[in-house]
Amino acid sequence: MTEEIGRAVIADLCRLPNPEAIDRTTFVELGGVEQFVSIRGRDTRNPILIVCHGGPALPSLPSSWIWQRAIEDYFTVVNYDQRASGKSATGASDGMDLSVERYVDDLVELIAWLRRELGVTKVGVLGHSWGTIIGITLAEQRPELLWGYIGVGQVISGPENEVESFGFAMRSAIADGNEQAVAELQSLGEYPGAQPLTLERIVTCRRWAQHYGGLSAYRSDFAYFTDAAGLSPYYTDGERVLIGVGQQATMAQVLPALLSFDARAKTLFEVPMLQFLGRHDWTTPTAPVERWFDRVSAPSTDVVWFENSAHLCMFEEPGKFVVSLVNLALPHATSA
């Protein structure tokens, strides 16, 4: 079977042919920037769940065909390529506002558009990795818009994440007798330390943390994740190139915001708060999240541990991911 035929089979599998379904794509102007939006669900009466993707600038839609289809039975799922990301990268320009506040405002505008287009009053937001920074900020500032917030690979303290990730990589390399890894990690000096946290230093730390399963549990190779876009029914070959364009356009500005983010003092929320945590996640380590979530006050708080997952629990344990959303998130959506 050729790649072309394989992609056609996946596209056919992902079709939503029943008359109650919705499968719509469009560009929506958010904050003065055209941003790509996908809306998919088996029944238009189902509640809205917005996926706020990670990265920075790593859209969730290209790989969503692996894990999202079952969720579409219970929710109308909205993916959007954030400003200067994915298909929205065609609008990237020098001087574009890439502050956390602007990303949050874009999401507020997207929700306002969805309320008009789909006739809903509240939506849920599922943030992954970098997207959890946007999501948790929105949950704190605009609770009236949400029936709930779900954090997956939550970022609470960027500085603590770097310390935890480095420690895991070094412990794993020493236990493995991996002299190359130990030498490269030692070359970073005190990490993150007082010297500039350059992209090169970060890549070195993350490369070895991920080698020992910190991105995908028990795997040093996670090509299934990075290559999933190649079979995507939602992205053409030319559009996949835009993913790299977006990352180049955003990394220098967004990465410092990700690494310096600190939400440890944000503990009062007026919306239900859920956390999906991969037991082996050393990309956004879970210890800072645990310490923070123990102090969170909200209408309800739930934690789900994915024992065989790291940072990608929707890919690694997709069945448990769907069941957890249905059991813990859907009741908040229907009551709202």
- How confident is the model over 280-334, as pLDDT tens digits? 999 999 999 999 999 999 999 999 999 999 999 999 999 999 999 999 999 999 9
Please tell me the predicted confidence (pLDDT) of residue 91: 79
Please tell me the predicted confidence (pLDDT) of residue 301: 98
Span 241-274, pLDDT tens digits: 999 999 998 988 888 888 889 999 999 999 999 9
In the block, residue with structure tokens 């943390």: 209
Span 121-144, pLDDT tens digits: 999 999 999 999 999 999 999 999
Which H helix or E strand runs over 274? strand 273-278
Span 147-173, pLDDT tens digits: 999 999 999 999 999 999 999 999 999
Neighbour tally for 211: CB within 10 Å: 18
φ and ψ at residue 42, rounded to 5 degrees: -75, -20
Q: Which residue has the higher pLDDT, 237 or 155?
A: 155
Bridge pairing between strands 22-30 and 33-41: antiparallel
To the nearest whole number, what is the mean pLDDT of the chain?
95
Q: Do 184 and 204 contact (CB within 8 A), yes or no?
A: yes
In the block, residue with structure tokens 């990268």: 89
